[in-house]
Amino acid sequence: MHRHPVHLAVYDTLADWETGYATASLARAGYEVRTVGASADTVRSIGGLAVRPDLVLDDVRPSGSSLLILPGADLWDAGDRLAPFARKAREFLDAGVPVAAICGATAGLAREGLLDERGHTSAVSFYLAATGYRGGGRYADADAVTDGGLVTAGPTEPVAFAREILRLLGVYEGEVLDAWYRLYHDSDAEAYAVLQWAGAR
């Protein structure tokens, strides 16, 4: 079965620890993961990793994507340089293609108005409240939330973030998804046997 690629946004100061569980599991499941930058210029993560984007944001279309992932970055709270990524998220959601945002990217989506009518989470509620958005009543104090095709999570929950993405795309379900989470989040050795039996990793 043909699958469209998953698109991972990359920009300077991106939090490189936040999306690794998701992208590694998606790649193992057969998805192509393609990086997307505002331009073709190399960017550098918070951890100092240099990433050369595969694609330029303006060339990415929801019709050719399975998912857009937006990691956190210091730049989300330092002006509007990353606003085009939030606008692209709106384009994806309007087209019925899911978006996953973690950490600072949730504030970018709040500013874009994308959290006003969807259940969501982030680092803490007052972080999003500072954006002036109107969705405070939909905030959930949870490790990760999925609503209306949008996954959100805080910076300390990369495994829960990945779990919601894997659920949303149907990579793992039920007992297997639960075992995947227990293995990587709780270091539950018994969960490995479930994944091995199911042919999952």
Residue 201 pLDDT class (50, 70, 90 cuts): low
Which pLDDT belongs to residue 132?
Answer: 95
Do 153 and 161 contact (CB within 8 A), yes or no?
yes
Identify the pLDDT of residue 198.
76
Query: pLDDT per residue over 23-34, tens digit each?
Result: 999 999 999 999
Q: What CATH class has 6-170? A: alpha beta
pLDDT in tens, 57-102: 999 999 999 999 999 999 999 999 999 999 999 999 999 999 999 9
Q: 189-198 and 174-186 helices cross at what angle (nearest 10)?
A: 140
Active-site residues, by number, are 103
Domain residue spans of the chain = 6-170, 173-201
Tokens of 137: 């009543």
Would you state the pLDDT for residue 42?
Answer: 98
**First and final CA of the chain: distance in angstroms?**
20
**Which pLDDT band holds residue 1 (cuts at 50, 70, 90)?**
low
CA 22 to each of CA 7, 8, 171, 200: distance values in angstroms, whole numbers, following the listed order:
12, 10, 11, 14
Query: Which amino acid, one-letter code, is at 26?
Result: L
